[in-house]
Amino acid sequence: MPAFLDRRDSWYVMGALALMVVLLGLTYAFGPAPAQKSIGYPTIYSPEWAGVRAAYLLLKKQGYDVEVWEKSPEELPADPDAVWVVVEPFEGGTANEKAAIRRFVTNGGRVLAVGSEAADLVPDLEAASAEAYDPQEKTFSAMLPSAITLDAPEITMVAPDTFTASMHSWLALYGKGGDLAAVSYRVGKGQVIWWAASSPMTNGMIREKNNLEFFLNSIGPAESTRVYWDEYFHGSRASIWSYFGNGPLPWAGLQVGIAFLAVLFTFSRRSGAMRLPATESRLSPLEFVDTLGDLYQSAHASPASVSVAYQRFRTALVRKLALPVKAKLPELSRAAGRRFGWPEEDLLDTLARSERAMRNINLQEEEALYLVRRLHEFSALLEPKGRADQEARAWR
């Protein structure tokens, strides 16, 4: 009985596999970088505008003892010289994890908590998310002299969350009117510092007015401070399997395996009559729409789809109205109402909900679909052709 593959055929198969591995490596090394679909999130792994990679690298360069904390807070050491930094976490903590954080602070550790989500993790602090996203930068002044406000009389934040209360006596560090941007209070031997937003430490704003000094003061002196920068509540888990699972290696291995099986099972010597395989028509006009929708759904990229439609409509609207690019939403709505006769409240509600949706990683698909549809309807009204018919259909 003849062998499945003779010696010459084996060399062909091995050569094809080697060529495929080389091509995969070249594609990975020299392929175009993926397009950025958002401004990013406050994680040390993000170089985008809202990421905090610059702040993390700055601490290492300044001589701080910094460790990326991808373990549960239950493993935090009892170190009075340590500060645990948690920035706008994506996930909530369990009762045991919250108890471990309280124990860490009570024993003398410090916590720098940023955002209303982080307020749910630290001991005895209440905060609420901002009702509406305001992209404009705001300046907050120091409320009292302290080690945290040293050399930083003013700071700049975007869309801060609201401080509600604390069970402990607290100090208002920065504020403006009735809004507080940063507070601190003692818990046992330790201290909790709460920021209303992460913008002072983000890549895009750390160089704004006194933000760098404020950030370093909140961390503490380099020579005596050990920093644990949390990524556990951003979904990172410290294990060898999670490291490989989050990288391209599993997909590359899957592709190589499929290609290898394809080579083995498709190798044959032709015998008998040949017949052309049936081909499915690819001329459907909705094929592109279905494919794009599947990609957004599989990537859970609902905020990105809203962001694309919102940025496109806002750019076209400010150009039509000859307004500044940074014009606020009420101003845009009033100008559009006067110019085109659109309902101001409906437009303002759509724009405000879209800006909140862009920041919501748990955005429901139904909400994203509704907002994208409304933004496309408004965009269609800006087109010069058929405006009257489109207006009639939009407001019917």
* pLDDT above 90: residue 114: yes
Same domain, 133 and 13: no
Q: Which pLDDT score, from 0 to 100, does residue 187 have?
A: 94
Instruction: Give the global pTM.
Output: 0.53
What is the per-residue pLDDT across 131-156, written as a single tens digit (0 to 9) for each? 666 678 899 999 989 999 999 999 99
Q: Do residues 375 and 261 both lie within one domain?
A: no
> Based on the domain organization, do 110 and 256 belong to the same domain?
no
> Are 311 and 262 members of one domain?
no
The pLDDT mean for the chain works out to: 82
Asked whether residue 275 is assigned to any structural domain, the reply reads no
Condensed to tens digits (0 to 9), the pLDDT of residues 208-219 reads 989 999 999 999
Residues 131 and 259 in one domain: no
Q: Lowest mean pLDDT of 19-28, 102-111, 294-303, 312-321, name the range.
A: 294-303
Q: Which domain holds residue 208?
A: 53-234
Per-residue pLDDT at 391: 47
Residue 201 lies in a domain: yes
Question: Do residues 82 and 226 share a domain?
Answer: yes
Instruction: Give the number of C-alpha atoms closer than 13 A to the C-alpha of residue 27, restricted to the C-beta side.
Output: 9
Is 271 inside a domain boundary? no
Shared domain for 105 and 181, answered yes or no, is yes
Tens digit of each residue's pLDDT (9 = 90 or more) over 31-42: 555 544 467 789
Answer whether residue 272 is part of any domain: no
Of 234, 255, 276, the last residue of a domain is: 234
229 plus 251 within the same structural domain:
no
What digits encode the pLDDT tens for the residues 12-31?
Answer: 778 778 877 887 777 777 65
